[in-house]
Structure 1
Amino acid sequence: MKISTKGRYGLTIMMELAVKFGEGPTSLKSIAERNQLSEHYLEQLIAPLRNAGLVKSVRGAYGGYILSHEPETITAGDVIRILEGPISPVDFTEEDDPAKRNLWLRIRDSIASVLDSTTLADLVSYKEEGQLDSYMFYI
């Protein structure tokens, strides 16, 4: 499974909102500028996150977006599934060789386990502490 820019930029948005959690709304324009991303593209990504209830929009001159829940309760898996769909390294059918099917299921479950055990608070903490390379996963 290859995570597209939708998933990567979606996590960027959510991490930025996690850093500002409790401080008021953050505009997509400021997130786009800080990360050198397209504001228009971020606008497309925020809609599904809002529809899923992970973010709230705040209207007005000082409006923007805030997390709907604390960063400790939102996982990378939540964000990736909303923006990318189900986690699956390959499409397989019941007719596939059982040994290969077992391998694909174990890979899927391993990826899901990492994504579901990593919260936005964890990601922000890794970034702030300069530990971006602290996790090495081998499959």
Structure 2
Amino acid sequence: MQQENKKEPKKRVLIQLRTNEADKNTLITYAKESGMTITDFVKSRTLGKAPRTKMATPERLRFLQFFTEVNRIGVNVNQIAKAFHTGHFGELTEDVILKTLEDLRAVSAQILNHLDDSAGQTARERQSVGDLSAEQSGQ
């Protein structure tokens, strides 16, 4: 017994909007800043609907790059830990460990700088945990 496909194809209706050039540019800007298409932006603002798609904003793309770098470093840390637990050090040298730690410090600094730039703060206004004394960090 075959089930019939009861879903009807979605009907697509075109709605046109007349506006001046300045309002058009404003809509385009707001949509881009929200990471949406113009259609999704207008729907979300007028109908309260969640956007169908969300485009990656430049800031989101940068955070995805940070995530990729942190993930790569995490893989290296796991390999270092495995080598220590199994006693099979192979090509694991002090230089590899130091390079991994330096990569982690560099990515952490990039993330903090990006967050500082996003929040309008300077790097001097935020103190990293590594700069805290043992008493300040609760140790």
Q: TM-score of the superposition, structure 2-length normalised? A: 0.29
Which structure shows the higher strand fraction?
1
Larger radius of gyration: 2
Which structure shows the higher helix fraction?
2
Q: TM-score of the superposition, structure 1-length normalised? A: 0.29
**Higher RCO (CA-CA < 8 Å; seq separation 6+):** 1
